[in-house]
Amino acid sequence: MDSPASTPAPRRIAIYAGSFDPMTNGHLDVVRSACRLADELILAIGIHPGKAPLFPVEERLAMLDEVCAPVAAEAGVRLRAITFSGLIVHTAEREGATLYIRGLRDGTDLDYEMQMAGMNGTMSPRLQTVFLPATPMVRPITATLVRQIASMGGDVSAFVPPAVLGRLKDKFKG
């Protein structure tokens, strides 16, 4: 019989889903925290046919890779960025994830996310939702506000990573 020390620990695969349109420092804050919990982190961009995103999905995938890969590498975590449509629980099951990462900014987020965690837990009992509180510096940041400010010529450099800032400036120049 193997001793517990010789048995390799199971891989912890976490999935963090969002539109990431654009990726913000708030998203990056969650990624940093999630890298402390998982051996592999999957960043999953939700594709919704009825929505018209600012950035095409290929560009959002590229931003996630560019910004998050160094963070994951430093933490020794395998990182993948994927797209999905439909229910996140189905995507998590298909990808082998057992941890579903959700960032919380405030009590409003908690109320909504608790309902979602309950529903997801019923549909997929082996998927554990993990709430990660935002650090104080990133709590007010939302991708929606970043898009609005950038579209009106405002400075969003405090809210997004430099690679994203460059893309936003290109998108809204003129």
Q: With a cut of 80, say whether residue 174 has pLDDT above it.
A: no
Domain that holds residue 99: 13-172
From the list 10, 16, 11, 12, the residue with the least C-alpha distance to 100 is 16
pLDDT-based confidence at residue 49 (cuts at 50, 70, 90): confident
Whether pTM exceeds 0.85? yes
Q: What's the domain count of the chain?
A: 1
Q: Is residue 4 part of a domain?
A: no
Cis bond upstream, residue 22 (ω within 30)? yes
pLDDT-based confidence at residue 13 (cuts at 50, 70, 90): very high
Q: Is residue 95 part of a domain?
A: yes
pLDDT at 173: 86
Q: Is residue 103 part of a domain?
A: yes
Q: Is residue 2 part of a domain?
A: no
pLDDT-based confidence at residue 4 (cuts at 50, 70, 90): low
Q: Is residue 67 part of a domain?
A: yes
Q: Is residue 61 part of a domain?
A: yes
Q: Is residue 5 part of a domain?
A: no
pLDDT-based confidence at residue 88 (cuts at 50, 70, 90): very high
Burial class (CB in 10 A: 0-12, 13-18, 19+), 128: middle
Domain with residue 54: its CATH number is: 3.40.50.620
- CA 161, CA 72: separation in Å to the nearest integer? 15
